[in-house]
Chain A
């Protein structure tokens, strides 16, 4: 990857990456914790998208919250920052696909992105969710590009 390997050149961006990491990682940890408390409800929510057969719905309902928590926590800590941001970006991209398909099909589906909390988009899935996820993908992309930034476990050698 053609990324500036010069630490000095990266530093100005670093302080921009740090809040991105905290916000995006924090959001994912929160989302995962909310979902893992009510797997049943999350399964119903995924099923509402009508994109997957039921055995995959069950698998996704169990795996996604944990994946969100693990990747989110790693992103906040700055551990394997690029990889965790990449996982989060791809997950969000997948969710965005689901959101678009729901909008295109004109369905009235609840997001359940944060369990019983709705943030920052209330109600059924719509353009607000689309914009939110696009912003989150951009944030993840920026972290993948710019690296861990300050206050990260990752060192230059392991970024």
Chain B
């Protein structure tokens, strides 16, 4: 009996601490579908207009194939030859060469510093909710598409970051599905060292 009482007390302490943290936390979790405006240019591929976030990961993983994904009303007029939400390494590289398009790295800080897409900025969901907007968000151009990537494979960090950015008024994203390892393997420009803009600056 004493054991059960103590266990309940431990749970109560954890509960109180968690609720306490929730009061200082500025961002409320919101799951919502990713809606990306289709960006012009780039090679062909499926038109991914809206992929349910966190629902069917395989749906969102269309890659560059002609795969078709659920399309929301209002977005039906999207041009066919445009980049979808998920893009391949060659598609990402062609955007990279166009210039003016920001790459965001959603991996851990140490992974970023060990090597990232040259010119990319560090930003992931952990930089939100600490009482301010990450400095990185302030320097991004909302009218331009952003390319988000993480470690490839089973990593969800890109998708989660896109959902966050959506709440800050961003509408055009691409996820480089195969992630940094594939980018590096393809011999595209990489750099190492800290992010030019510290996402936690001023927080």
Residue positions of A touching B, CB distance < 8 A = 1, 36-41, 43-45, 47-48, 50, 54, 57-59, 61-71, 74, 80, 82-84, 86-87, 90, 108-110, 112, 116, 123-124, 144
Contacts and interface: CB of A to CB of B under 8 A. Distances in A.
Given A41-B124, A44-B54, A47-B54, A65 B163 contact: no
B19 A123 contact: no
B29 A54 contact: yes
For the complex of A and B, the 9 pairs showing the least CB-CB separation, nearest first, are A67-B14, A63-B18, A83-B6, A38-B126, A66-B17, A43-B29, A62-B18, A40-B125, A62-B22
Nearest to A116: B108
11 contacts: A39-B29, A40-B27, A44-B29, A48-B156, A62-B22, A63-B15, A66-B15, A66-B18, A71-B14, A87-B11, A123-B154
A82 B107 contact: no
A123 B153 contact: yes
A136 B173 CA distance: 40
B188 to A, nearest CB: 24
B6 to A, nearest CB: 3
Contacts of A110: 154-156
B194 interface: no
A50 B52 CA distance: 13
Nearest to A68: B14
Contacts of B29: 39-40, 43-44, 47, 54, 57-58, 61
Given A44-B160, A87-B10, A108 B154 contact: yes
B170 interface: no
Q: What interface size band does chain B fall in? A: 35 or more
Given A44-B31, A70-B14, A38 B125 contact: yes
A83 B13 CA distance: 13
B3 interface: yes
Nearest to B6: A83
A1 B3 CA distance: 10
A87 B54 CA distance: 29
A97 to B, nearest CB: 17
A120 to B, nearest CB: 15
B9 to A, nearest CB: 8
B164 to A, nearest CB: 7
Given A44-B54, A80-B6, A64 B18 contact: yes
Contacts of B58: 108
Given A43-B29, A44-B54, A71-B10, A82 B3 contact: yes
Contact of A63 (B9, B19, B124, B125): B19
A70 B124 contact: no
Interface string B126-141: 1011000000000000
Nearest to A65: B18
A55 to B, nearest CB: 9
Contacts of A44: 29, 31, 54, 125, 156, 159-160, 163
A123 B57 CA distance: 14
A63 B160 CA distance: 20
